[in-house]
Amino acid sequence: VIGAGPGGYECASVLAKEGKNVCIIEKNEMQLGGTCLNEGCVPAKQYLETASYLAKSSYAQSCGIDVKEPHLDISLLKKKKDELTQQLRSGIQTKLKKVQIIFGDASFKDENTLLVANEEILFDHCVIATGSIHRPHPTLEVDGNLILSSKEIFELQTLPHKILIVGGGAIGCEFATFFNTAGVEVVLAEFTPTLVPNEDKDVAQTLERELKKKGIRVHVNTNVTNHIKNQNSIAITLQTPKEELQEEFDFVLVSIGRMPNTCTLNLNNAKIQTQKDFILTNKHLQTSNPHIYAIGDVIKTPALAHMAYNEALTVANNLTKETLHVSAVNVPFVTFCQPQVASVGKNEKTLTQEGREFIVKKHFYKSSAKAKIKGDDSGFIKLLVDKNSDEILGGSMVGNEVTELIHQILIAINAKLTCKDLAKMVFAHPTLSESLWEMLN
């Protein structure tokens, strides 16, 4: 297995439990757990969870709690993040106790041989799980000083006064929430017409409105046309639909997505076909070389850790069982900004393109007692329902804890439940979950 991120270590662990002789290769010990653990989803959620405590301070004060000038010490937060990643990294090492771990850069010598630090490793089967790398901006090259990627953000010892975030996808919106909550002036620029471009338009518009309410300056359909680096700041020219803006920032965070980490693997030597650096696979996750598999961000499936986990189990099954499996179809997408955003199943655009007749059902959290108790009743739940069968085809959520609540809709879709089925169930009160029941009755 090449790569010890979520997909790689999960696949290696399961294969070892099945009695296979497994070796996993990672660049170095500090990279165990991959991008997700070390510079991605795990530290980002640690930062966002901490910021959420700060965000609730004014509401807590209104409820009678004496909160005196709360502030964020990012150096202490970094220390806590480092402790967390080390704990989880140790857990991964324990999980891989039956797996041989080799550190170094791997590449293919031929169809059955890998090279790692000039050492040849022969294999019967191989799983490529090398993940993804930062997608470079056409003009804003990351320098680790004034132009940063998400990796460098987690090394900050002091907070900036003003930051430009380029890219309004999940990563950009999450960091916009974090820095805004910490008291930093935030400008968020997105090249496409909406934030979180993969979500339905009403979801994106609601998120944009709520971020603006918090003081984040959001510009969509906006491009960076020029930049000038100064000693301790960077001057940026933004072209918006209405005007050209010139502003100075302490630094710029570039978060325009990620790309497959496959360029150094010498895939041609193993007769593995690619398309725009993505490895091509069949439905069983085999590459054009049938005894080599690929999972995670290197293939054209959603670049999500939980997707990689599922693909890891699929490959482990297909290497050890007679019945071949395919990966899951319905995968939840979650963004941990404030308010949170989540979706699963088919969206409005997909259903319209398919010519499927569907009904949109929507319910706002304004009527939720629990949302008001928690101090945030923004957002809504939306279900997309087959017009004829009443079957739930997809759903979206914006609001309080929806990254947890979305799994209600995931289960309903996979179980092929109808709205009438859900309406007959009993949901506890007062909960956020009951809003789903309330919208159907």
Q: How far is CA 344 from the centre of its chain?
A: 14
Q: What is the share, in percent, of the chain residues with pLDDT greater than 70? A: 100
Between CA 365 and CA 376 the distance in angstroms is: 9
Between CA 332 and CA 409 the distance in angstroms is: 9
Asked if residue 293 has pLDDT above 90, the reply is: yes
- Beta-strand pair 217-219/333-335: unpaired
pLDDT tens digits, residue range 121-156?
Answer: 999 999 999 999 999 999 999 999 999 999 999 999
Q: Provide CATH 3.50.50.60 ranges for the chain.
A: 6-134+259-320, 147-256
Asked if residue 269 has pLDDT above 90, the reply is: yes
Q: Provide CATH 3.30.390.30 ranges for the chain.
A: 339-438
Q: How far is CA 86 from the centre of its chain?
A: 21
Between CA 165 and CA 247 the distance in angstroms is: 13
**pLDDT value of position 327:** 85
Mean model confidence pLDDT for the chain: 96
| Enzyme catalytic residues | 429
Between CA 34 and CA 43 the distance in angstroms is: 12
Which amino acid is it at 208?
A: E
**pLDDT value of position 368:** 96
Task: Return phi, psi of residue 204, to 5°.
Answer: -65, -40
pLDDT tens digits, residue range 381-411?
Answer: 999 999 999 999 999 999 999 999 999 999 9
Least confident window among 58-62, 71-75, 180-184, 250-254: 58-62
Between CA 335 and CA 330 the distance in angstroms is: 17
**pLDDT value of position 67:** 83
What token pair was written down for 199? 């979500």
Give me the architecture of the 147-256 domain, per CATH: 3-Layer(bba) Sandwich (3.50)
Asked if residue 118 has pLDDT above 90, the reply is: no
Asked if residue 197 has pLDDT above 90, the reply is: yes
Given a contact cutoff of 8 angstroms between Cβ atoms, the answer to whether 195 and 117 are in contact is no
Task: Return phi, psi of residue 309, to 5°.
Answer: -60, -45
pLDDT tens digits, residue range 66-87?
Answer: 888 888 999 999 999 999 999 9
**pLDDT value of position 435:** 96
Mean pLDDT of 187-192: 98
In CATH, 339-438 is 3.30.390.30: yes
**pLDDT value of position 26:** 97
- DSSP H helices in 33-99: 34-39, 41-55, 57-62, 74-95
Q: What is the share, in percent, of the chain residues with pLDDT greater than 90? A: 95
**pLDDT value of position 94:** 96
Given a contact cutoff of 8 angstroms between Cβ atoms, the answer to whether 301 and 281 are in contact is no
**pLDDT value of position 21:** 97
Between CA 235 and CA 226 the distance in angstroms is: 8
pLDDT tens digits, residue range 307-349?
Answer: 999 999 999 999 999 888 988 889 999 999 999 999 999 999 9
pLDDT confidence bin for 249, thresholds 50/70/90: very high
pLDDT confidence bin for 376, thresholds 50/70/90: very high
pLDDT tens digits, residue range 219-236?
Answer: 999 999 999 999 999 999
**pLDDT value of position 68:** 84
Mean pLDDT of 101-117: 96
pLDDT confidence bin for 23, thresholds 50/70/90: very high
Between CA 200 and CA 211 the distance in angstroms is: 17
6-134+259-320: what fold?
Answer: FAD/NAD(P)-binding domain (3.50.50)
Is the four-CA dihedral 192, 339, 131, 134 of positive or negative sign?
Answer: positive
